[in-house]
Amino acid sequence: MANHEARARRSLGEWKIRSVPVLLGSVLLTTALMLLTGCGPPYLADTYATSTQKPASLDTNSLARVPVVVLGFVASGTLQGLAPTMSHALSGALAEVNPPISEISTHETMNRLTDKGLVAEYADMRAGFARNGMLNRQQLRRIGSGLGSQYVLLPGLAQLEEEILDKYEAAGIKLVRNRVTTLRLWLQLWDAQTGHIVWESSGEGTTSTVFLSPKQTVALEQIAKKLLVRMIQDGLLDSKTGNTFISDQ
């Protein structure tokens, strides 16, 4: 019996040793094919969005004619460093939806506020929002008038989570891993003249990315843009998009 068990353990060990090159070869072949075709590891993402009902007075076609003021992303201290990336993603999403929404981008908004002498007004308004979740009506009106726009878009980054999951492992060697990224965003469209929120949306995107190197990063801007397109297209422009997409990093 002891000899039989020893032979079984040796056979299992030999099988593992033989399996590693096979699995490794498969991984290397997949990687080579991706490199030859000029694309990164594929990822699968699912997005979900929910929005409030728009008022009948909101003419979404006007959003393509008169630029919307886009404010900086609201985010907690640990996520604040991602605000520029999220702003770029939002600009891409506004240009991609159908019909496209004209914008005064975040960096251009900051420049114009500086030129108009409204930086302190803007800072006070943002500080007030951090305290009570509202934009001061008078400050919002002055900023909207100063930048020549009726509508102001306030975006927020609620949460970003990442988890590493092992996909294939043989003989203690981790060959392929998945990085699962969950992103939660929100948007509020404010009427600068009335100080009312005319539309808001929240969305969540979960992305599973195959990565072969610890140094490989996730294209967070691209993931955020896909989610923002879903939120704006479905909720604001009433044109449904697909739930799930497969793309290249």
Q: What is the DSSP string of 115-133?
A: HHT-HHHHHHHHHHHHHHS
Q: How long is the chain?
A: 249
pLDDT at 216 over 90: no
Reduce the DSSP state of residue 57 to 3 states and report it.
coil
Q: In the beta sheet, which residues pair with residue 210?
A: 178
pTM (2 decimals)? Answer: 0.76
pLDDT at 207 over 80: yes
pLDDT in tens, 133-186: 999 999 999 999 999 999 999 999 999 998 877 665 555 555 567 788 999 999
Domain residue limits, the chain: 1-39, 40-248
pLDDT in tens, 52-87: 998 888 999 899 999 999 999 999 989 999 999 999
Instruction: Return the higher-pLDDT residue of 220 and 141.
Output: 141
Please tell me the CATH code under which domain 40-248 is placed: 3.40.50
Q: Provide the phi-psi class of 150: left if phi over 0, else alpha when psi is between -120 and 50, else beta.
A: alpha
Cα–Cα distance for residue pair 160/222, rounded to 1 Å: 14
Model confidence band, residue 211 (pLDDT cutoffs 50, 70, 90): low
